[in-house]
Amino acid sequence: DTGVSQNPRHKITKRGQNVTFRCDPISEHNRLYWYRQTLGQGPEFLTYFQNEAQLEKSRLLSDRFSAERPKGSFSTLEIQRTEQGDSAMYLCASSLAPGRRNEKLFFGSGTQLSVL
């Protein structure tokens, strides 16, 4: 396991369709984060998990967005009824929990979503 893996790398969908992205974190990392990044902007926090518990989800952009991490390993991010404004890069990152000295995020390469 050499890093955070995200699939697919690219997703093109039609407006109104549902999409799901997958993230496989670094195996020993217990925290997993989802971010959205649009052109010219920094990563915008969406949600995060510690193991299987979703500790913060108030920043999910709407109720069309949901995330799961059922066994505390991989995670999925689902967007229902996609809109053109959902077009962005969706980034996943993992880390060891704060409180240890290694408070560093390791990012995947992202999933680029295009909604037509």
Partner 1 sequence: GEDVEQSLFLSVREGDSSVINCTYTDSSSTYLYWYKQEPGAGLQLLTYIFSNMDMKQDQRLTVLLNKKDKHLSLRIADTQTGDSAIYFCAEWLGSGGSYIPTFGRGTSLIVHP
What number of CA atoms fall less than 13 Å from residue 73's CA on the CB side? 3
Among 39, 81, 33, 42, which Cα is nearest to 60's?
A: 33
The three-point CA angle 11-15-19 to 5° equals: 40
Does position 1 interact with partner 1 (CB under 8 A)? The reply is no
Among 91, 94, 113, 115, binds partner 1 (CB under 8 A): 91
Q: Per CB under 8 A, does 79 bind partner 1?
A: no
Q: Is 101 left (phi over 0), alpha (psi -120 to 50) or beta?
A: alpha
Size of the site for partner 1 (CB under 8 A): 26
Min CB(5)–partner 1 separation in Å:
11
Nearer residue to partner 1 within complex by CB, 44 or 68: 44
- Nearer to partner 1 among residue 46 and residue 115 (C-beta): 46
What residues from 10 to 49 belong to the interface with partner 1 (CB under 8 A)? 33, 40-45, 48
Distances (CA, A) of 80 to 5, 109, 111: 22, 22, 16
Chain contacts with partner 1 (rule: CB under 8 A): 4, 6, 33, 40-45, 48, 55-56, 59, 91, 93, 95, 98, 103-110, 112
